[in-house]
């Protein structure tokens, strides 16, 4: 059985909260997901706490509520997966140069409207920011994720949105010359280097054997 600690297996490399939420599952770049860290509602809470969306107090409150109402917790978990599916389809379409369907945009509009309906505007450090404080609703961790996704979709920078060449992760390429290909050089980038090295060695051995 997985524990809440398993949420730290996935690297935070998206450069955007919504993309990091999409990246809670992974797999080959051109295939279906084959690894997921969100198996139950508690995992959603653990991930939101780990990434900084929730305080310890808020996470504990939501976890207690979920344990007290298993049906509501399962509904909130299914809702989280549905939202993740939409964000995945939405930003993967954009990253590959396609326009999201009207159906997808309409569904996401409803997600964004729900998130905004539960938001407050609060003064913060000389300015103002959106805030979600209703920790009585088990869907609460999703709202800032969806709002961040809406901001990325409408204000960009979508021209920096890419998919990793080695896995399904999405990220914002913040490199100066926009040359980033991998979610992380420590993971997919290193794996690609090793693959090329092994291929070169195999090719060299084949040439030697043929001579």
Domains belonging to the chain, first-starting first, are 4-210 (1.10.3300.10)
Omega of the bond leading into 182 within 30 degrees of 0 (cis): no
Say how far apart CA 104 and CA 97 lie, in whole Å: 16
Look at the block and give the residue holding tokens 């209703």.
Answer: 134
| Per-residue pLDDT tens listing for the chain (211 residues) | 344 557 888 889 999 999 999 999 999 988 889 999 999 999 999 999 999 999 999 999 999 999 999 999 999 999 999 999 999 999 999 999 999 999 999 999 999 999 999 999 999 888 999 989 877 899 999 999 999 999 999 999 999 999 999 999 999 999 988 889 899 767 785 544 334 433 344 444 444 555 5
Q: Which helix (H) or strand (E) holds 88?
A: helix 70-95
């Amino acid at each position: 059985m997985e524990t809440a600690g398993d949420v730290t297996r996935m690297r935070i490399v998206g450069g955007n909260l919504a993309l990091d939420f999409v990246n809670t599952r992974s797999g080959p770049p051109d295939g279906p997901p084959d690894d997921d860290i969100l198996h139950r509602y508690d995992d959603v809470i653990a991930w939101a706490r780990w990434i900084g969306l929730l305080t310890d107090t808020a996470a504990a409150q939501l976890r207690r509520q979920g344990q007290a109402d298993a049906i509501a917790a399962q509904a909130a978990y299914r809702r989280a997966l549905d939202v993740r599916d939409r964000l995945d389809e939405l930003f993967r379409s954009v990253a590959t140069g396609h326009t999201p369907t009207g159906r997808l945009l309409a569904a996401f509009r409803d997600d964004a409207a729900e998130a905004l309906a539960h938001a407050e505007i609060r003064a913060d450090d000389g300015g103002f920011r959106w805030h979600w404080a209703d920790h009585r609703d088990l869907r609460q961790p999703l709202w800032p994720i969806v709002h961040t996704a809406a901001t990325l979709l409408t204000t960009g920078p979508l021209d920096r949105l890419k998919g990793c060449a080695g896995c399904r992760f999405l990220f914002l390429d913040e490199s100066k010359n926009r040359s980033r290909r991998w979610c992380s050089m420590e993971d997919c980038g290193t794996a690609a280097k090793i693959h090329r090295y092994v291929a070169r060695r195999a090719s060299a051995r084949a040439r030697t054997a043929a001579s």
